[in-house]
Amino acid sequence: MESCNEAVVVQALTYQYHASGPFILRDIGFRIDRGEVVVITGLSGCGKSTLCLCISGLIHHHRNGVISGKIILNGKDTRGMRGPALALEVGMVFQDPDTQLFSPAVEDEIAFAPENLCLPPEQIQERVNNVIDTLGLAALRHANPYYLSGGEKHLVALAAVLALDPPVLILDEVLSQLDSLGKKRVIATLEILRDKGKTIIAVEHNLEALAFADRFMVLEAGKLIRFDRTEKILADQDFLMTRRLV
């Protein structure tokens, strides 16, 4: 029985994209409480994005790799959950926003998920307006996402996930293409969401960018090598240097 305060529980998670391929994740296990902000970091190729895809349930249902272990979101095992049920528990912003934007206008993109949850029109409109205001997207409301810049696309992808209002939010390097104003807006939004009890998991290479996080998780070659309080990790320069993270 998992504690009711745990938003994400991962047990003995191992994953290969192909049966004959290398292990991308090896025996990963951790627990994240509700309302926690956790940063996942590590050298590129260490398995950060794959871990995010596993937590979001996408690996279980949309990839043909070899997975073992267990992922529990808010007390529910993701193996038994399908798309709509997963969408109510977790929302993910991918590293490449082009892979998740498809609507002809920004406001349609943001409204898409709430519409598919069959929310009343006035509630959909309220959610769309709220995230547009929060992320400063008013000028792009009617723009075609295809023609936006990389940073703008990332903001729209984030807005579309925020409109779902999931209890667990996964962000895969969303800050990397944002200008300083965009970064400030996103960080301020994450702090508000944290205060509202949302659980946030963010992949980030810039260790100082999300220094307000509660804990940092460090992956190396598919293994979880450290999961500790933010201040402890950031103060441990020997560890960061040895692992080539700074």
Look at residues 200, 119, 107 and name the one whose alpha carbon lies nearest to residue 164: 119
Residue from 125, 129, 134, 176 touching other proteins (CB under 8 A): that is 176
Query: What is the size of the binding site for other proteins (CB under 8 A)?
Result: 32
Record the tokens describing residue 147, joined without a space.
Answer: 């023609």
Please tell me whether residue 225 binds other proteins under the rule CB under 8 A: no
Residue from 20, 44, 64, 242 touching other proteins (CB under 8 A): that is 44
Residue from 67, 101, 128, 155 touching other proteins (CB under 8 A): that is 155
Contacts of 191 (CB under 8 A, 6+ apart): 212
Q: Which long-range contacts (CB under 8 A, 24 or more apart) does 72-81 make?
A: 72/2, 72/6, 72/8, 72/9, 72/10, 72/11, 73/7, 73/8, 73/168, 74/7, 74/34, 74/167, 74/168, 75/2, 75/4, 75/6, 81/57
Please tell me whether residue 57 binds other proteins under the rule CB under 8 A: no
Please tell me whether residue 45 binds other proteins under the rule CB under 8 A: yes
Per CB under 8 A, the segment of 77-85, 117-125, 146-154, 188-196 that binds other proteins is 146-154
Residue from 149, 196, 211, 225 touching other proteins (CB under 8 A): that is 149
Please tell me whether residue 148 binds other proteins under the rule CB under 8 A: yes
Which residues are at the interface with other proteins (CB under 8 A)?
Answer: 17, 42-45, 48-49, 95-96, 98, 140, 143-144, 147-152, 155, 173, 176-182, 205, 244-246
